[in-house]
Amino acid sequence: MRDRPMLNPSPEWRPLAYQETYGCPVCRHGQISAIALMDAFACSFCRHIFTANLAEQSLRVEDSSQPMVWRWNGSRWKPLRHADVDVAALLWCIGAALVILPPSLVWLSSHTFPPLPGSAWAQFPLIWVGLTFGLHFTFVAWLLAEHYQVPLYVTTKVRLGMVLGRR
């Protein structure tokens, strides 16, 4: 059989190649380009390092504890899901427990031993439950943003590092 020329799905379609520059799939602000003398890419903004599989048109982040992979569809990145569903489910269950259990224990103790009615500290248990919930929720949200490398979080972290001079 004769080889047929590959039809491009859109006029902007371009294959993944080391000579090109692409938008960063992690921070979505920087540009990734090839690192000299290496078969790897680096982002100009968030400084992540990626390895590419040109045959599969995929990109994998190498300097992260999370195995994140994206497939290049010719114009943008599509995230590939992995079989780490067990880790994600466990992370969500532990996160829900950390957000729900401590405020529930504070609420239960405030109802078991309520303050005297009309005292100056009568509203303190409600404030304490709210603070406990808010702080635990913030902590779990930070852990989830770190685990999933949410682009807004990564961008904010990089810009804060630039402002504080840690770059």
Q: Which two tokens stand for residue 90?
A: 């466990």
For residue 50, the Cα-to-chain-centroid distance in whole angstroms is 16
Q: Which two tokens stand for residue 84?
A: 């780490």
> What pLDDT score was predicted for residue 2?
41
Total-model pTM: 0.61
Cα–Cα dist 132/166, whole Å: 31
> What pLDDT score was predicted for residue 8?
46
In degrees rounded to 5, what are phi and psi of residue 60? -125, 135
Instruction: Report the chain (167 residues): mean pLDDT per 10 consecutive residues.
Output: 44 81 89 90 90 90 81 87 67 94 96 90 93 97 86 87 79
CA distances from 66 to 81, 87, 141 (A): 12, 11, 17
CB 108 within 8 Å of CB 132: no
> What pLDDT score was predicted for residue 167?
56
Residue 84 DSSP code: T
Going across the sheet that includes 40-43, the strands are 22-23, 31-34, 40-43, 49-53, 58-61, 69-72, 77-80
Q: Is 15 exposed, middle or buried (0-12, 13-18, 19+ CB in 10 A)?
A: exposed
